[in-house]
Amino acid sequence: MTTATAQPTTKLWSGGKSPFNISYGKVMMWYFLMSDAFTFGAFLISYGTIRFSQNVWADANHVFNAFPFTGHANLPLAFVSLMTFILILSSVTMVLAVHDGHNMNRKGVEKWLIFTILGGLAFLGCQAWEWTHLITGDHQVLVNGVVQHWGTTVTHNPWGPETLFKGKEVATPGPIAFGGYFFGITGFHGFHVFSGVIINSVMLIKTRLKHFELRGHYEMIEKAGLYWHFVDLVWVFVFLCFYLV
Amino acid sequence: MSQVATAEVFHHDDNAQVKRIWKTFWILLVLTILELGIGLTIYTIHKGENPSHTLVLMFKGLVCILTMAKAFYIVSVFMHLGDEIRNMIMTIIVPLLLFVWFIIAFLWDGNAWKNLRNTDAGSRIYIEKTHEKTSVPAKQNGQKD
Amino acid sequence: MSNEAILHDHQTGTHDLGHAHEHHHHETFITKYVFSQDHKMIAKQFLITGMVWAIIGGLFSVIFRLQLGYPESTFPWLEDFLGHWAKGGKLDPEFYYSLVTMHGTVLVFFVLTAGLSGTFSNFLIPLQVGARDMASPFLNMLSYWFFFTASVVMMASLFVQTGPASGGWTIYPPLSALGEASEGSKIGMDLWLISMSLFIINALLGGLNYITTVLNMRTKGMSMTRMPLTMWAFFFTAILGVLSFPVLLSGSILLLFDRNLGTSFYLSDIVINGKILPNEGGSPILFQHLFWFLGHPEVYIIILPAMGIASEVMSINSRKPIFGYMAMVGSLFAITALAFVVWAHHMFVTGLNPFLGSFFVLLTLLIAVPSAIKVFNWLTTLWRGNIRFSPGMLFAIGFVSLFISGGLTGVFLGNSALDIHLHDTYFIIAHFHIVMGVAGMFGMFAGLYHWFPKMYGRYLNNTLAYIHFWVTMVGSYLIFWPMHYEGLAGMPRRYYDFTNWESFKMFAGLNQFISFVSIIVFAAQLLFVFNFFYSIFKGRKVTTLNPWGAASLEWSTPIRPGHGNWPGEIPEVHRWAYDYGKDGRDFIPQTEPVGEDESKH
């Protein structure tokens, strides 16, 4: 405001300035992320609640044991670790972009934003592969005394406890909610990654057009960065809830 | 720390800041690898003859703690929340405490539904099915379920 | 980049607008009245949309009250009006449920959330904290247009062939999840969910703006504890909305999946029309948890703004400082915090673990403490005051009366043992209509009568206002007080017809009476609507800057402030907003510096 002149920091709350020394845009972004944390929190807690109400659940080490181009090799958690690595790396490139923005280094911002966007796209590609692999998978499931062939979808879960059928070990149907929650939550997260990629691309264009240089600050990059790190943060918890525990 | 001040800090210790970012990256990577190691340990425990549920639960608790550590580093360093003034940090942390009761109440109730289902709403005692692989007879043609 | 420069950046933006009228800046009808970014215009947009919804929602209640009060009669004019929903003038049972559902949805969300906090947060926050506009005027505009789109979708659902949603405003699955289950669970339910998702985005955008504006945009000298209580109330309301609405969004998305993608989040072991559904493993109680995690904070989203408005109006019209300012702020905070941890008290009889329920009983009963603090502070503010019974003041006093009568029955319902008997009876209808519905409306009326001069530069007609107040006040008690007796006798809510029950036959006359009074009260509201629109154009003009003699900042603006609120510099604030009757002076505005020999408050 007009009255916002230098004041001793002890009077942060007395009006005329931001009590946190942060612009309104960043404050808004932070509280938006709080709100979004409750959206994701509600999804993950619902998932936990339904899982707690079941006697059996799909074992992540069996469901997620495939890796592209390795055929039927049993590699539990390998692919999702790669995805996590990609996302963490893209978070680092994002924070480096923000850092270069602080230094008014336009070239640096552009470079790191491009890496971040590539990281986001790579993550989305991995997720597309994983989804395809699960949905088109072919698993023998014993249903009412007949062996059927199922993939993992929102209506079918072939990962129930195994049983002996004609002397062979065959899976029985597992809790249906597994697929719903897996595709629902990773899909919602993927949607966030996707929108993050869009936001970062817009930022890249605006940086190239020297919008921020003329404005004298790269605060928009910081806000986009907050969003991107939040997406990474959510993945940390998705990784925990679906793959590890 | 105010943004004006941070900008100055960046000027003075530009390299220190970049180093801090990369250091955080390595910490996150190590934590993820540790988590992965624990995940695979749980996998081998499950494959064993007599899986110890207490041990598995302990490892799962450990993974949760490691995840919280990762979250701390992302929020504090990457999102620069650690560099903000204390009041700002508190406005983020305090509302998140709601998750404590949110999680406890929901999971508690979820567990209660399991008990209700397993005991036909308390009308009988629950005997845990040991997942012994009993042979299921093949379905005959024309047989009804 | 320095914060000051960013703020200044923004400042120049709104500053230009502040001088727009002086330079005859090009402002078209579209930018001024439709896609306006002026918080005052957006507030009026919320208000008038809310009023349209209030009339529709109120009319719904009148129609279903006709069925409840006169179950044996037919009303042929209803058929002209509703078509196949009222064949032969007799309300269709399916449509009765739709009416009940829509009445609840519309009043709770569209009127008492968007219409109340949307209007007054938008209008008052920048004026009372001393800002040119909201932190982000653009997002503010977007917030209204999301609300408008949500309104259009909800309105459209009234006109689909199978009718609007009919599972009650809480839309519990499995009824709401299965299209085969009822007419209202078909397309109407999808539209309901879509509309509500849009509404949640509106609440989020608005809430973020309110929080940020209160935190970041206060004028110099306006510390948090110098803000009027309205500001504190809207601030906490916004926090409630930002943190709880997303949970309903999650719940709605999962319900949409269950409806359209065949998932099993809420469904398990269901046989419908003799067909066994493949869904298995979900739990309908999960939805109730998610719904009430929002639903409970939602009732405080409704009542907190009313509390803030009542406090402000009451202090001004008692010519006394508000009693216990810090206690008022503290109790608002306590209510906000408790609002998040008590949700399952709506679910005592649904299969919730009873042991878990006992924790919720304890937490619920704790709410009585801050509520009582507030009530006593209002009463002591009135005590020995120099009371001016203006229409706004009457509604503020009425609000306190209703909050007491409705709050006391909350203590009954918060006990799970009593709730087993009272759950889903007319007792609960009486409780929440008095404490939340009517009290929320009273807060809204108090605010409208009080700030109408600031909004339109004219006064509302006083005679009509007094008629409006007394009819509404007496009528509300006459409608809802008898419902306590019906509820204690076990009469269930949401039933279409009670004539088949021997035990409820004795209430036939009472039901008729309630319906009769509700029609009169509805007519009184139409009187208010007339007064409102008439006074916008023909009301008595405001001639002084500060007609009520109020100390807060909004009355230091011109009578009809332009975009930017203050023509010159934003005034600096030197004291709190409640210096009434101090040192022999009637009131001292916030902008006046503290004198040297002034007594401490």
The pLDDT tens digits for A73-115 are: 788 888 999 999 999 999 999 999 999 999 999 999 999 999 9
- Single out the residue of C23, C130, C106 nearest to residue C557, CA to CA: C130
Which residues does chain C have within 8 Å of residue B94's beta carbon, measured at their own beta carbons?
none
- Single out the residue of C446, C469, C449, C468 nearest to residue C458, CA to CA: C449
**Chain A touched by C4 (CB under 8 Å):** yes
Q: Is the pLDDT of residue B129 over 70?
A: no
Contact between chains at B110 and C1 (C-beta distance less than 8 A): no
Q: Predicted confidence band at B12 (pLDDT cuts at 50, 70, 90)?
A: low
DSSP state of C541: B
- Single out the residue of C286, B99, B117, C199 nearest to residue A180, CA to CA: C286
Average of pLDDT values for B85-113? Answer: 94
How many other C-beta atoms lie within 10 A of the C-beta of residue C59?
14
- Determine the pLDDT at residue B140: 53
Average pLDDT of chain C is: 92
Average of pLDDT values for A108-129? Answer: 96
- Of A185-189, B123-127, C446-450, C531-535, least confident by mean pLDDT is B123-127
- Among the partner-chain residues C218, C249, C293, the one whose CB lies closest to the CB of A15 is C218
Chain C neighbors (3+ CB pairs < 8 Å): A, B
Average of pLDDT values for C90-109? Answer: 94
Task: Give whole-number Cα distances, C556 to A208, A227, B73, C278, in Å.
Answer: 46, 40, 48, 66
Which residues does chain B have within 8 Å of residue A77's beta carbon, measured at their own beta carbons?
36, 39-40, 43
Return the structure tokens found at C330.
């503290």
- Determine the pLDDT at residue C269: 87
- Determine the pLDDT at residue A209: 94
- Determine the pLDDT at residue C442: 97
- Residues B110 and B113: their CA atoms lie apart, in Å, by 5
- Among the partner-chain residues C1, C283, C353, the one whose CB lies closest to the CB of B108 is C353
Percent of chain B with pLDDT over 90: 50
DSSP state of B135: E
Q: Is the pLDDT of residue C7 over 50?
A: no
Residue C443 near residue C451, CB atoms below 8 Å: no
Which residues does chain A have within 8 Å of residue C244's beta carbon, measured at their own beta carbons?
38
Which residues does chain B have within 8 Å of residue C353's beta carbon, measured at their own beta carbons?
108-109, 112
Q: What is the pLDDT of residues C494-541, one digit of tens each?
A: 999 999 999 999 999 999 999 999 999 999 999 999 999 999 999 999
Which residues does chain B have within 8 Å of residue A236's beta carbon, measured at their own beta carbons?
67, 70-71, 74
For A99, residues 6+ apart whose C-beta sits below 8 A from its C-beta are B10, B17, B18, B21
DSSP state of C278: S
- Determine the pLDDT at residue C101: 96
Q: Predicted confidence band at B137 (pLDDT cuts at 50, 70, 90)?
A: low
- Single out the residue of A159, A173, A185 nearest to residue A47, CA to CA: A185
Percent of chain B with pLDDT over 70: 79
For C33, residues 6+ apart whose C-beta sits below 8 A from its C-beta are C41
Which residues does chain C have within 8 Å of residue A43's beta carbon, measured at their own beta carbons?
250, 254
Which residues does chain A have within 8 Å of residue B36's beta carbon, measured at their own beta carbons?
77, 81
Exposed / middle / buried, residue A73 (Cβ in 10 Å: 0-12, 13-18, 19+): exposed
Return the structure tokens found at A237.
């918890």
Q: Is the pLDDT of residue B10 over 70?
A: no
Q: What backbone phi and psi angles, to 5 degrees, belong to A169?
A: -85, 120
Examine residue C411 and state whether it is found in any structural domain, yes or no: yes
Q: Predicted confidence band at C11 (pLDDT cuts at 50, 70, 90)?
A: very low
- Residues B60 and C305: their CA atoms lie apart, in Å, by 45
User: Which C residues, 89 through 128, put their C-beta within 8 Å of a C-beta on chain B?
Assistant: none
- The answer to whether the bond into C228 is cis (omega within 30° of 0) is no
DSSP string, C438-459: IHHHHHHHHHHHHHHHHHHSBP
Residue A113 near residue A225, CB atoms below 8 Å: no
- Residues C184 and C188: their CA atoms lie apart, in Å, by 6
**Chain B touched by C239 (CB under 8 Å):** yes
Q: What is the pLDDT of residues A194-214, one digit of tens each?
A: 999 999 999 999 999 999 999
DSSP string, C381-419: HHTT------HHHHHHHHHHHHHHHHHHHHHHHHSHHHH
Q: Predicted confidence band at B6 (pLDDT cuts at 50, 70, 90)?
A: very low
Q: Is the pLDDT of residue B101 over 50?
A: yes
Average of pLDDT values for C54-74? Answer: 94
Examine residue C483 and state whether it is found in any structural domain, yes or no: yes
- Determine the pLDDT at residue A68: 87
Contact between chains at B101 and C2 (C-beta distance less than 8 A): no
- Among the partner-chain residues C215, C242, C247, the one whose CB lies closest to the CB of A19 is C215
Examine residue C17 and state whether it is found in any structural domain, yes or no: no
DSSP state of A55: S
- Determine the pLDDT at residue C177: 93
Q: Predicted confidence band at B128 (pLDDT cuts at 50, 70, 90)?
A: low
Contact between chains at A49 and C283 (C-beta distance less than 8 A): yes
- Determine the pLDDT at residue B16: 87
Q: Is the pLDDT of residue B144 over 50?
A: no
- Determine the pLDDT at residue C555: 94
- Single out the residue of C70, C108, C72 nearest to residue C514, CA to CA: C70
Return the structure tokens found at C95.
């449509």
Return the structure tokens found at A178.
């597994």
- Of B49-63, C158-172, C446-460, least confident by mean pLDDT is B49-63
Q: What is the pLDDT of residues C373-402, one digit of tens each?
A: 999 999 999 999 999 999 999 999 999 999
Examine residue C134 and state whether it is found in any structural domain, yes or no: yes
The tokens 């006074």 sit on which residue? C535
Percent of chain C with pLDDT over 90: 85
Average of pLDDT values for A17-42? Answer: 92
- Among the partner-chain residues A9, A95, A142, the one whose CB lies closest to the CB of B136 is A142
Q: Predicted confidence band at A17 (pLDDT cuts at 50, 70, 90)?
A: confident
Q: Is the pLDDT of residue B93 over 90?
A: yes
Q: Predicted confidence band at B138 (pLDDT cuts at 50, 70, 90)?
A: low
First-to-final CA distance of chain B: 70
The tokens 């020297």 sit on which residue? A210
Q: Is the pLDDT of residue C12 over 70?
A: no
What ipTM was estimated for this complex?
0.92
For B32, residues 6+ apart whose C-beta sits below 8 A from its C-beta are A81, A84, A85, A88, B70
Contact between chains at A2 and C282 (C-beta distance less than 8 A): no
Q: What is the pLDDT of residues C436-476, one digit of tens each?
A: 999 999 999 999 999 999 999 999 999 999 999 999 999 99
- Determine the pLDDT at residue B134: 58
- Residues C16 and C24: their CA atoms lie apart, in Å, by 11
- Determine the pLDDT at residue C148: 97
For A52, residues 6+ apart whose C-beta sits below 8 A from its C-beta are B107, B110, B111, B114
Q: What is the pLDDT of residues C182-209, one digit of tens each?
A: 989 999 999 999 999 999 999 999 999 9
User: Which A residues, 79 through 108, put their C-beta within 8 Å of a C-beta on chain C?
Assistant: 102
Contact between chains at C135 and A24 (C-beta distance less than 8 A): yes
- Residues C493 and C425: their CA atoms lie apart, in Å, by 5
Q: What backbone phi and psi angles, to 5 degrees, belong to C586?
A: -65, -50
How many other C-beta atoms lie within 10 A of the C-beta of residue C29?
7
Q: Is the pLDDT of residue C404 over 80?
A: yes
Return the structure tokens found at A4.
């916002």
User: Which C residues, 386 through 445, put their C-beta within 8 Å of a C-beta on chain A?
Assistant: none
**Chain C touched by A184 (CB under 8 Å):** yes
- Of A44-53, B9-18, B108-117, C464-473, least confident by mean pLDDT is B9-18
Per the structure, the complete domain to which residue C167 belongs is given by 3-11+30-578
Contact between chains at A24 and C220 (C-beta distance less than 8 A): no
- Among the partner-chain residues B74, B110, B114, the one whose CB lies closest to the CB of A232 is B74
Contact between chains at B109 and C340 (C-beta distance less than 8 A): no
**Chain B touched by A19 (CB under 8 Å):** yes
Contact between chains at B110 and A12 (C-beta distance less than 8 A): no
Residue C230 near residue C128, CB atoms below 8 Å: yes
Could you give the count of Cα atoms lying within 13 Å of C534 in the half-sphere of its Cβ?
12
Q: Are strands B135-136 and A162-165 parallel, antiparallel or unpaired?
A: parallel
Residue C397 near residue C385, CB atoms below 8 Å: no
Residues β-bridged to residue C425: C492
- Single out the residue of C515, C453, C443, C505 nearest to residue C479, CA to CA: C515
For residue C291, the SS3 value is helix
Å between C212 CA and nearest CA of chain B: 12
Average of pLDDT values for A51-72? Answer: 86
Examine residue C586 and state whether it is found in any structural domain, yes or no: no
Q: Is the pLDDT of residue A8 over 70?
A: no
Examine residue C144 and state whether it is found in any structural domain, yes or no: yes
Contact between chains at C4 and A5 (C-beta distance less than 8 A): yes
Which residues does chain C have within 8 Å of residue A175's beta carbon, measured at their own beta carbons?
280-281
**Chain B touched by A144 (CB under 8 Å):** yes
Q: Predicted confidence band at C67 (pLDDT cuts at 50, 70, 90)?
A: very high
- Single out the residue of A11, A230, A221 nearest to residue A101, CA to CA: A221
* CATH number of the domain bearing residue C490: 1.20.210.10
Number of domains composing chain C: 1
- Single out the residue of A46, A26, A49, A92 nearest to residue A188, CA to CA: A46
- Among the partner-chain residues C1, C251, C263, the one whose CB lies closest to the CB of A216 is C1
For residue C234, the SS3 value is helix
- Single out the residue of C329, C368, C375 nearest to residue C345, CA to CA: C368
**Chain B touched by A154 (CB under 8 Å):** no
Q: Is the pLDDT of residue B2 over 50?
A: no
- Residues B61 and B54: their CA atoms lie apart, in Å, by 10
Q: Is the pLDDT of residue A232 over 80?
A: yes
- Among the partner-chain residues A102, A145, A239, the one whose CB lies closest to the CB of B137 is A145
- Among the partner-chain residues B11, B79, B85, the one whose CB lies closest to the CB of A226 is B79
Which residues does chain A have within 8 Å of residue C221's beta carbon, measured at their own beta carbons?
14-16
Examine residue C264 and state whether it is found in any structural domain, yes or no: yes
**Chain B touched by A111 (CB under 8 Å):** no
- Determine the pLDDT at residue B135: 62
Could you give the count of Cα atoms lying within 13 Å of C560 in the half-sphere of its Cβ?
10
Examine residue C68 and state whether it is found in any structural domain, yes or no: yes
Average pLDDT of chain A is: 90
- Among the partner-chain residues C3, C208, C247, the one whose CB lies closest to the CB of A31 is C208
For residue A168, the SS3 value is strand
**Chain A touched by C251 (CB under 8 Å):** yes
